């Protein structure tokens, strides 16, 4: 156990943050500039704060955000153990259009950004795309939509 400090500059009146944790959190304190603004008490399976302890021990792919997106999407995933990982993007016809991650990754939470570009660097059209995460013998998929 112990404390974990996370500092983030907030640029908007409202912000959302997600954290991957490997144990059940007991609380979250939001305190910019030493002004106590809000304190949240968390349960052990709060969907607002990512996968619960059991889910965090297996491969996890969270829904891309924002979704729908216009220019880029954040793709968050959790790798339970070190090993080969592939994070690939496919169009609705099943054609791989880009690979964001292809190599050995250490265990833990990961984030990748898709800038709406294919492997050749061209901007992809508006539409539905699939994100596929593979690690070991496990696969996870999520849908992302791009709009103009």
Look up residue 123 and give its DSSP letter. B
- pLDDT tens string 98-133: 999 999 999 888 999 999 999 999 999 999 999 999
Q: How many distinct structural domains can be found in the chain?
A: 2
- Distance CA(30)–CA(32), nearest Å, equals 7
| Cβ atoms of residues 11 and 41 within 8 Å | no
pLDDT in tens, 57-109: 789 999 999 999 999 999 999 999 999 999 999 999 999 999 999 999 998 88
Last residue of a domain, one of 21, 37, 57: 57
Same domain, 68 and 51: no
Question: Measuring CA to CA, which residue among 59, 62, 60, 76 is closest to residue 114?
Answer: 76
- Torsion sign across C-alpha atoms 65, 67, 70, 73: positive
CATH of the domain at 100: 2.60.40.4070
- Statement to judge: residues 45 and 65 lie in one domain: no
Quick one: how far is CA 78 from the chain centroid?
8
Domain of residue 46 covers 1-57
> What does the pLDDT read at residue 12?
55
């Amino acid at each position: 156990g112990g404390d974990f400090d996370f500092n983030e500059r907030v640029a908007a009146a409202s912000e959302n943050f997600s954290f991957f944790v490997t144990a059940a959190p007991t609380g979250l304190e939001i305190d910019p500039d030493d002004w106590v603004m809000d304190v949240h008490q968390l349960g052990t399976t709060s969907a607002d704060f990512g996968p619960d302890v059991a889910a965090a021990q297996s491969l996890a792919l969270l829904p891309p955000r924002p979704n729908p997106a216009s220019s880029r999407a954040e793709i968050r995933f959790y790798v339970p153990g070190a090993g080969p990982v592939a994070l690939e993007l496919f169009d609705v016809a099943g054609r791989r259009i880009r690979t964001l991650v292809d190599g050995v990754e250490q265990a833990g939470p990961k984030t990748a950004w898709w800038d709406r570009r294919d492997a050749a660097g061209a901007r992809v059209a508006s539409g539905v795309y699939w994100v596929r995460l593979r690690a070991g013998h496990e696969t996870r998929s999520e849908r992302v939509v791009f709009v103009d």
